[in-house]
Amino acid sequence: MDLGEFEADNSVSCRLASAIPDVCKTEDCCLGIDEAGRGPVLGPMVYGICFCPVAKKEDLKDLKVADSKTLTEAQREDLFRKLDEAKSFVGWALQILSPNTISTSMLQRSKYNLNALSHDAAIGLVQFALDSGVQLKEVFVDTVGPAEKYQEKLSQRFPGVNVTVRPKADSLFPIVSAASICAKVARDHSVKDWNFPEDLGEVDADYGSGYPNDPKTKAWLLKELDPVFGYPQFVRFSWSTTQTLLDSKAVTVHWDDDEEDGEKAAARQNNTSMLSYFKAGSKTSAQQSNTHQTHRFFTERRLQSLATL
């Protein structure tokens, strides 16, 4: 699988796709949707679709596709090769959501959570298939959140398409299994061959599966944590695992809040705000001299505090 377009700039999301089989533009088609990499703290989340004519469902079964999580890496690679070779009737597309995209979306002021990201990625891929001329009649989806609500949402978004959303759909429908394999192979390749744009020199590539409970991933996160800059963009900053480590191991940084005025900021830092010199009721220069010496910045410029304007 060629991920060159994503690897050229892995800080942003990327869409990759096969050629659209001609038969998919003339015959009623089914389409499956699944993802890989939802839970890991490292690397991208990949959404995949696979589609073929409804009349070719049995041919897809003959390829012996299965839920990617039940297969070894070698088996997944072999099945993806077979899917790619069946280009006369099988097509696929991927939406690779970079860890940087995930982090910035989830941490922005207007929260954009992982479920919303997932739904939008799936909707975007279905729309891509339709825009490419695929004659979609059936869509099968592995659920994210409540299956009934998700199915209703997709049905309203794509009227005329029969949408089925089920838990564990990747083990129930071969077309979803095929999508699962495409997504998992893409994620495996991107994580294994990750290009660190931060120019960190030699980076330990033994980071395990990327899941928070993986001992190798835990050890890598501890080893690669920079006390000032945190982590490279390979890490999802929005994960609680990352935030806990940064809170306990990194130096404390205070970001001035736009909602915090100058006086509050000065009080927090145990300083005097410049605004205090212009407050009504402030002491005159004569009164100030009785308590403390006026700073030379003011005396050199012949500036005095005013009680009233």
35 marked as binding residue: yes
- Dihedrals phi, psi of 96, to nearest 5 degrees: -95, 115
- Kindly report the CA angle at 207 between 206 and 211, in degrees rounded to 5? 150
Of 128, 130, 124, whose CA–CA distance to 160 is shortest?
A: 130
Task: Specify whether the CB–CB gap between 138 and 165 falls below 8 A.
Answer: no
At a CB cut-off of 8 Å and minimum separation 6, what does 42 contact?
A: 99, 191, 207, 210, 217, 220, 234, 235, 236
CA distances from 232 to 105, 185, 222, 224, 237 (A): 17, 23, 13, 9, 9
Longest CA–CA span in the chain (Å) reads 95
Consult the annotation and say whether 263 binds a ligand. no
The strand order across the sheet containing 162-166 reads 14-17, 91-97, 45-53, 29-36, 136-142, 162-166
The answer to whether 27 touches 53, Cβ cutoff 8 Å, is yes
Containing 123, the helix (H) or strand (E) segment is helix 114-131
34 is in an annotated binding site: yes
Q: How many CB atoms lie within 10 A of CB 261?
A: 12
Please enumerate, by residue number, every residue annotated as part of a binding site for a divalent metal cation: 34-35, 142
Please enumerate, by residue number, every residue annotated as part of a binding site: 34-35, 142
